[in-house]
Amino acid sequence: MIVLLTDFGLVDPYVGIMKAVIRSYNPTVEIVDLSHNVSPFHLRQAACMLEDSWPHFPKKSLFLSVVDPGVGSQRNAIFLIWNGLGFVGPDNGIFTEVLKQKEVVAFKIPVEKRASPTFHGRDVFAPFAARILKIPEIMYSLEPLNPDNLIRLPETKGFEIYYADHFGNLITNQKHKNLSRKKWELSYEGKTLPKVKTFSELKPQEIGVYFGSSGRLEIAIREGSAKNLNPSSFQFLVQK
């Protein structure tokens, strides 16, 4: 199974072209669209989506992730293996959360000179993903890399909003597993936000905070959108 994650959107033909290339190398492989609506160049959002998604996929799934503002530069194309899953994409921080795990194995993917300097998704990543699932032995011909030397996004400190989802709910870096035994509160413009389990506990257009299905702390406006709220007006307090 190849799982696609890109910032290409669905207006242009890029996603369809990548799928066509995959099928030309591996006609029977299953392709799943995780999302093609990552905000353009938003590596943090892509890394977050990967982390929140991979637990739900079966072993031997291969995440083909292309959010690549540095396409055509000297950055490496990489293939990671961890916990029975594969990850293919640019070495630019998109795999930050994978690289935090133990026992990650990393390889360099060769980039042919004829590859378009603006579309490695088509000419580098899609062919490799299709071929490695069809002929796993290709792995033994690849140059190994030290995972510790691969690019990671800077560690976030304190409270940070990563992105707004389709409904306008704000997805943050805070997780239930880190807050479940602590006293905490989140305020907006000086007003403490109610903690709820479901949207129905809020009044229409009321702002609230809750743990979403991924276990992340999220902010929502019932039957509205929180994406236009001012990020600097939030204050997150945790009792140590």
Place of tokens 């669905």: 10
Q: For domain 2-149, which CATH number applies: 3.40.50.10790, 3.40.50.720, 1.10.1040.10, 3.20.20.10?
A: 3.40.50.10790
Joined together, the tokens standing for residue 75 give: 């950055």
CA separation, residue 118 to residues 4, 72, 78, 114, 121 (Å): 18, 6, 17, 12, 9
Domain residue limits, the chain = 2-149, 161-238
List the pLDDT tens digit at each of the 240 positions of the chain: 999 999 999 999 999 999 999 999 999 999 999 999 999 999 999 999 999 999 999 999 999 999 999 998 999 999 999 999 999 999 999 999 999 999 999 999 999 999 999 999 999 999 999 999 999 999 999 999 999 999 999 998 889 999 999 999 999 999 999 998 889 999 999 999 999 999 999 999 999 999 999 999 999 999 999 999 999 999 999 987
Task: For residues 224 and 168, give the distance between their C-alpha atoms in angstroms, rounded to a whole number.
Answer: 7
Measured in residues, the chain has a length of 240
**Fold matches, 2-149 and 161-238:** no
User: What's domain 161-238's superfamily in CATH?
Assistant: Bacterial fluorinating enzyme like (2.40.30.90)
Continuous segment of H or E residues that includes residue 136? none
Continuous segment of H or E residues that includes residue 39? none
pTM of the model: 0.94
If we measure between CA atoms, which residue out of 226, 157, 239, 215 comes closest to residue 189? 226
